[in-house]
Amino acid sequence: MQFNSRYPSLDAKLYHEQMPAPLKGAKAGHFNEALADQLQWSDEEKAQWVEICSGQKTFPEFHPLAMVYAGHQFGQWAGQLGDGRGLLIAQVLDRQGQTIDLHLKGAGSTPYSRMGDGRAVLRSVIREYLAGHALNSLGVPSSNSVGFTSSTQGVQRETLELGAMMLRTSDCHIRLGHFEWINQYQPDLLAEFTQKCLAWHYPECLDSEQPILAFATKVIQNTAVMIAKWQLVGFAHGVMNTDNLNITGSTLDFGPYGFMERFRPNWINNHSDYNARYTYQNQPSIAHWNLWNWLNNLIPLAPLENKEQFKQDLVQCLEHFEPTFLEHYTHGLCQKLGLPTFHKDSFDCGMAFLNILQSEQLDYTDSFIRLQNKQYEEIKDDCLDRRQFESFLTQYESIREKQNIAELDTEMKQANPVYTLRNHMAQKAIELAERNDFSEVNRLFKLLSQPFTKQTDLEQAEDLAPLPSDFPEVMVSCSS
Ligand code: AMP
Ligand code: MG
pLDDT at 478: 81
Mutate to test the pocket of ligand 1, among 76, 243, 477 (most ligand atoms within 8 A of CB): 243
Q: What is the pLDDT of residues 31-59, one digit of tens each?
A: 999 999 999 999 999 999 999 999 999 99
Q: What is the pLDDT of residues 212-230, one digit of tens each?
A: 999 999 999 999 999 999 9
Closest-CA residue, ligand 1 atom 22, reads 84
Query: Which bound ligand lies closest to the C-alpha atom of 79?
Result: 1
CA 284/CA 223 separation, integer angstroms: 9
Extents of the domains making up the chain: 2-176, 328-415
Mean pLDDT confidence for 87-104: 98
Q: What is the pLDDT of residues 278-302, one digit of tens each?
A: 999 999 999 999 999 999 999 999 9
Give ligand 1 pocket residues (Cβ under 6 A). 81-85, 112-113, 116-119, 239, 244, 253, 255
pLDDT at 270: 79
Query: Which bound ligand lies closest to the C-alpha atom of 118?
Result: 1
Query: Which bound ligand lies closest to the C-alpha atom of 117?
Result: 1
Whether the per-residue pLDDT at 431 is higher than 90: the answer is: yes
Q: Which atom of ligand 1 is nearest to the CA of 69?
A: 10
Q: Which atom of ligand 1 is nearest to the CA of 117?
A: 20
Whether the per-residue pLDDT at 377 is higher than 90: the answer is: yes
243 is catalytic: yes
Distance 8 CA to ligand 2 centre (A): 21
The catalytically annotated residue of 94, 101, 243, 366 is 243
pLDDT at 148: 99
pLDDT at 156: 98
Reported confidence tier of residue 193, pLDDT bands at 50, 70, 90: very high
Mean pLDDT confidence for 145-165: 98
Reported confidence tier of residue 472, pLDDT bands at 50, 70, 90: confident
Mean predicted lDDT score pLDDT of the chain: 97
Whether the per-residue pLDDT at 98 is higher than 80: the answer is: yes
Round the CA-based radius of gyration of the chain to a whole number and report it: 23
Mutate to test the pocket of ligand 1, among 65, 68, 81, 143 (most ligand atoms within 8 A of CB): 81
Closest-CA residue, ligand 1 atom 14, reads 84
> Is residue 415 a contact partner of residue 335, using CB atoms and an 8 Å limit?
yes
Distance 118 CA to ligand 1 centre (A): 8
pLDDT at 467: 85
Distance 69 CA to ligand 2 centre (A): 10
pLDDT at 468: 84
Q: Which atom of ligand 1 is nearest to the CA of 109?
A: 21
Whether the per-residue pLDDT at 477 is higher than 90: the answer is: no
Q: How far is CA 48 from the centre of its chain?
A: 28
